[in-house]
Amino acid sequence: MKVVLITGASSGIGYETAELLAKRGYKVYAGARRTERMHDLVQLGVTPLSLDVTNESSAREAVHTVIEQEGRIDVLFNNAGYGSYGPIEQVSLDEARRQLDVNVLGVALMSKLVLPQMRKQGQGRIIVTSSVGGRLTSYLGGWYHVSKFALEALCNSIRMDVADFNIQVSVIEPSGVMTEWGSIAADHLSDTGKDSPYESTTKQVADYYRQMYSKPSALVNDPKSIAQIVLKAIEARKPKTRYQDSLAAKTSILMSRLLPSRALDWIMKQTVLR
């Protein structure tokens, strides 16, 4: 029975992955700040852990609990994160630091904490929820994209660091997923644009995201589909370094490679302002 530790497991991708893995016979530890939302997971044998990835003592306690109970950690699924959208000029540096703290440093912290145990075991897998937004920038995406571009570089570095220890690192790059992410990003947009020169456009883009994330579409996937990709990355003999969830994700990344920067800027702006 493989032992899996998941961060950000109280909703969305993390929750669906915990449920899927538990049903497939994995021993799952589900970390989140809101453990009260995991009642149904407990019925499946999932162990909830109080975990704040921005708090080192909380993270250490969670990893220690898993190792103490199971003697191993086979998979770390770094899923915790959120989207802080808004014009760079308007977003406070305190909020920028929080975005980087959760989306980048939280992944670094959790990875650092599990790596000694994985090296001791002689194997392990680290899987990270990134985004197509780590490869190209959407309009008014601000610090969210800064965090995801940094996360992609962080994962590249960890992957090369640990390859000699039989530890695999994979990144999941969804285009959009039906989770709370959309409403959180939209709220950040509305708040940062209020009473500013950007108010009209931030309101328009926020409305676009609220509508876009209200139902599944070609651009917005079901979190259950991402859970299936995580399972594939866990069970593959030789996992890919990166997984995209849809044709939209693959097309977006291809566009970012082929198009001139200003042409890509125009397309990204028109997509959300139409």
Q: For residue 220, what pLDDT is reported?
A: 80
CATH number at 134 reads 3.40.50.720
**247-269 tens-digit pLDDT:** 888 999 999 999 999 999 999 99
pLDDT surpasses 70 at 180: yes
Closest CA to 35 of 16, 58, 9: 9
**182-207 tens-digit pLDDT:** 888 889 999 999 999 999 999 999 99
Q: For residue 218, what pLDDT is reported?
A: 67
Number of domains in the chain: 1
**44-59 tens-digit pLDDT:** 999 999 999 999 999 9
* Percentage of the chain exceeding pLDDT 70: 100
Which of 84, 130, 138, 252 does the annotation list as catalytic? 130
Whether 9 contacts 32, CB under 8 Å: yes
Question: Which residue did the predictor score with more confidence, 208 or 178?
Answer: 208
Question: Does the active-site annotation cover 148?
Answer: yes
Average per-residue pLDDT for the chain = 94
> Which tokens belong to 144?
């969210």
Residue whose entry in the numeric block shows the structure tokens 């989306």: 103
Q: What is the DSSP letter of 22?
A: H
**218-230 tens-digit pLDDT:** 678 889 999 999 9
* Percentage of the chain exceeding pLDDT 90: 85
State the pTM of this model: 0.93
Question: Does the active-site annotation cover 23?
Answer: no
pLDDT surpasses 90 at 95: yes
Residue range of the domain that includes 7: 3-273
Question: Which residue did the predictor score with more confidence, 243 or 211?
Answer: 243
**119-139 tens-digit pLDDT:** 999 999 999 999 999 999 999
Which of 15, 84, 147, 148 does the annotation list as catalytic? 148
Question: Which residue did the predictor score with more confidence, 72 or 273?
Answer: 72
* Percent of the chain that is helix, strand, coil (3-state, to 5): 55, 15, 30
Which of 144, 198, 208, 213 does the annotation list as catalytic? 144
Question: Does the active-site annotation cover 130?
Answer: yes
Closest CA to 216 of 262, 248, 193: 248
Count CA within 13 A, CB hemisphere, residue 252. 24
Q: Is the dihedral of CA 18, 22, 23, 25 positive or negative?
A: positive
